[in-house]
Amino acid sequence: MEQRIVVTGASSGIGRAVAVHAARRGWRVLGVARREERLATLAAETGCETLVADLTSDDDVARLVEAATAFGATGLVHVAGGALGSAPIPATTLDDWQGMFDMNVLSTKRVLTGLLPQLRASTAGGTYASIQVVTSIAATTPYVGGSGYNAAKAAEKALVDVLRLEVHGEPIRVMEVRPGMVRTEEFSLVRFEGDQAKADAVYEGVQDPLTADDVAQVMTDALALPGHVSIDEVVIKPVAQTHAWMVHRGPLQAKS
């Protein structure tokens, strides 16, 4: 069966890498993001179709649903999201919390609600549909300074877990991907409001943090499995990261 996947957050980071990997596999891709110029570059490089949309907007998600239906989507890879701030709880702002819940929870609800009818319709010929959502190890492991992001990703994970229960008996696999430390060009930079020094410090001294390409390879490998095989949950961390807050800095060396 031809894979036709909608990839959100496709203008950068993991979402872009997934779109590139999927195109290399010969799958049809509809890349969705807010930044038109970046999507144009992605389309030129991969031949994928694109749609400019802000997933916190009901109107934009309605346009996405229309486009995904015309596209004949058989799968959804929902990557869009993000973190804002790293202050202790009393110093966090409600604006940041609202932003993180809009980006990570409400956008996921909108997209899943909107695309589920098309994904169900795509199974009419006896095939399987796929839903793959990127959350974070922050969804299950709290850490100091992560309160708003921990809460948002925990809520997003709960949403995915409930969806898997609610499509019981249907030919739809629901997969969650929980990455740990991934060095991308924007995640930490956005979190620290453009402070490049703080963003760089997150990865300082860490041997081989994950790249977006690493995560995308795992995600597309999972999607490439036979449709009846569902990897419900996968946690991906670099070897240097044993726990969300336990990161080795310096060379990795075997103990004598």
CA dihedral angle for residue 199, residue 216, residue 121, residue 52, rounded to 10 degrees: 40
Going by C-alpha positions, the residue among 138, 153, 167 that lies closest to residue 230 is 167
Q: Quick check: 16 and 10 in contact, CB under 8 A?
A: yes
H helix or E strand, kind and range, residue 198: helix 196-203
**Under 8 Å between Cβ of 123 and 172:** yes
How many angstroms separate the CA atoms of 239 and 209, rounded? 8
Closest CA to 63 of 7, 115, 129, 131: 115
Which pLDDT score, from 0 to 100, does residue 192 have?
A: 67
How high is the pLDDT of residue 187?
Answer: 73
d(CA 219, CA 139): 18
**pTM score over 0.75:** yes
Catalytic entry in 128, 143, 149, 203? 149
Return the pLDDT at 199.
73
pLDDT in single tens digits along all 256 residues of the chain: 689 999 999 999 999 999 999 999 999 999 999 999 999 999 999 999 999 999 999 999 999 999 999 999 999 999 999 999 889 999 999 999 999 999 999 999 999 999 999 999 999 999 999 999 999 999 999 999 999 999 999 999 999 999 999 999 999 999 999 999 998 776 766 776 776 887 788 888 899 999 999 999 999 999 999 999 999 999 999 999 998 889 999 999 999 8
Q: Is 203 a catalytic residue?
A: no
What is the per-residue pLDDT for 2?
A: 81
pLDDT, position 229: 98
CA angle 130, 7, 52 (to 5 degrees): 140
Read off the DSSP letter of residue 89: G
pLDDT of residue 244: 83
pLDDT of residue 198: 79
Query: 40: which 2 tokens?
Result: 């144009």
